[in-house]
Amino acid sequence: MSASPIITLDKNGQEILTVGFNRFGFDSEVGLEALRSLYLRPHYVVSADEIPATASDLDEESQEKQHAKFNQGHIYLSKSIFHPNTHSISYTTLSRFPPVKLLPPSTRKRILVTGGAGFVGSHLVDRLMLLGHEVTVIDNFFTGSKTTVSHWVGHPNFELVRHDVVEPFMIECDQIYHLACPASPPHYQFNAVKTIKTSFLGTLNMLGLAKRTKARFLISSTSEVYGDPEVHPQSEDYWGNVNPIGPRACYDEGKRVAETLTYGFHRQDGVDVRVARIFNTYGPRMNPYDGRVVSNFIVQALRGEDLTVYGDGKQTRSFQYIHDLVDGLICLMNSDETRPVNIGNGDEFTIGEFAELVREIVEQVQERDGEKPAKRVGVVYKPIPQDDPQRRRPDTTRAKETLGWQPRWTVRMGLEEMVRYYKAKMAEGSI
């Protein structure tokens, strides 16, 4: 199934053709199409009458033909063929890698991304790879998945290591993006002790590595360090309102102590640190079952199920698209800003309003694709989780002033792209 071309307009109505920018001596600009081809790639679904009764009956010649279809064109295409009638999947090693920039050794960096097979990590990896850097991913695949970066496996600039950051890891590198930690409330509460260990021991290990290698260290912190905020919007100077013994504490307090450790190494050992406080982010490759609101609502709407709003839906969140976040992370890493920086989008919605918006966008995409759902999905109300923050919106003045960064994607544009991604995943059989 190939989706119709998407024209993406930014907040000022200008078409977005590239993401990233050349700032602080680091050029992070790549074409949106090249990036999009890595996650919104055309999926080729073999129809039942095209293939024999079982996948194993495919003779070599017809398999070659099937695979050849994937490897035409200038951009990376899918490496898998889904057989709906036998519910099986064929993988091929015939894939070719998307072209990456050829950087001179003096500007090529050795970059470690912990949690690089996760939602945020995999998008960061795509960008760093296309830019021509050497990227090593470590991930324990608890919430990350090999499929998010499988299109780079085998590339000479790329290495994927199964490793849990609670154990030390040795490597020579110039920059460390430390992202490893479950981020969705159901996931991080699933094994609270492990979440705390990951935040504390994982960060301790990676800071130790940064100290030894003199690599620059960036940690992905979170808006959850502000807890259920009494100040709105939240600026970096706000100290937060966190329940230290509640069900969210394993993550909130874990990230708070991770920040404390980071500044401990900075003051005591001179480690060069960056702290990004990330606000609610969404986009393709978000695990459809991870339980966060954006993935839940889109998948529910696409399946024709009612959207589950927790509580009365009056709590607010501000949603940022993944490409804006990656722009912000790269910008921060290469800047001189060592204080914490909020990276988020100021477009604030009540969850009730957001449910309406998601429903509307899913309906628009379905209509454009000529699909008519049997009925309009509704909204059902479920109990609000304990300690669910009531209001959240980033004050991004610091990011604007010191990084020259501001979000460019409208929520509408980002959601539409994410809907297309999940639709393709459904057609491919993986949702």
Residues that bind ligand UGA (CB under 6 A): 183-185, 222-224, 279-281, 292-293, 296, 308-310, 315, 317, 351, 384-385, 388
Q: Which two tokens stand for residue 49?
A: 């009458």
Q: Which two tokens stand for residue 387?
A: 């300690």
Q: Which two tokens stand for residue 75?
A: 């951009």
Nearer to ligand UGA (CB atom), residue 1 or residue 380 = 380
Nearest to 170 by CA among 206, 200, 141: 206
CB of 315 to ligand UGA, least distance (A): 4
CB of 225 to ligand UGA, least distance (A): 9
Nearer to ligand UGA (CB atom), residue 370 or residue 383 = 383
Cα 146 to chain centroid distance, Å, stands at 14
Nearest to 292 by CA among 160, 418, 208, 169: 418
Phi and psi at residue 308, in whole multiples of 5°?
-95, 105
Nearer to ligand UGA (CB atom), residue 78 or residue 300 = 300
The catalytically annotated residue of 39, 76, 177, 251 is: 251
Q: Which two tokens stand for residue 11?
A: 């907040």
Nearer to ligand UGA (CB atom), residue 129 or residue 250 = 250
Q: Which residue has the tokens 């109990």?
A: 383
Nearer to ligand UGA (CB atom), residue 91 or residue 289 = 289
Nearest to 62 by CA among 85, 81, 84: 81
Q: Which two tokens stand for residue 86?
A: 């036998």
**Known catalytic residue: 251?**
yes
CB of 189 to ligand UGA, least distance (A): 9
Nearer to ligand UGA (CB atom), residue 51 or residue 276 = 276
CB of 317 to ligand UGA, least distance (A): 5
CB of 103 to ligand UGA, least distance (A): 32
Residues 6+ apart with CB under 8 A from 378: 306, 307
CB of 413 to ligand UGA, least distance (A): 19
CB of 258 to ligand UGA, least distance (A): 12
Nearer to ligand UGA (CB atom), residue 158 or residue 321 = 321
| Active site amino acids | 251
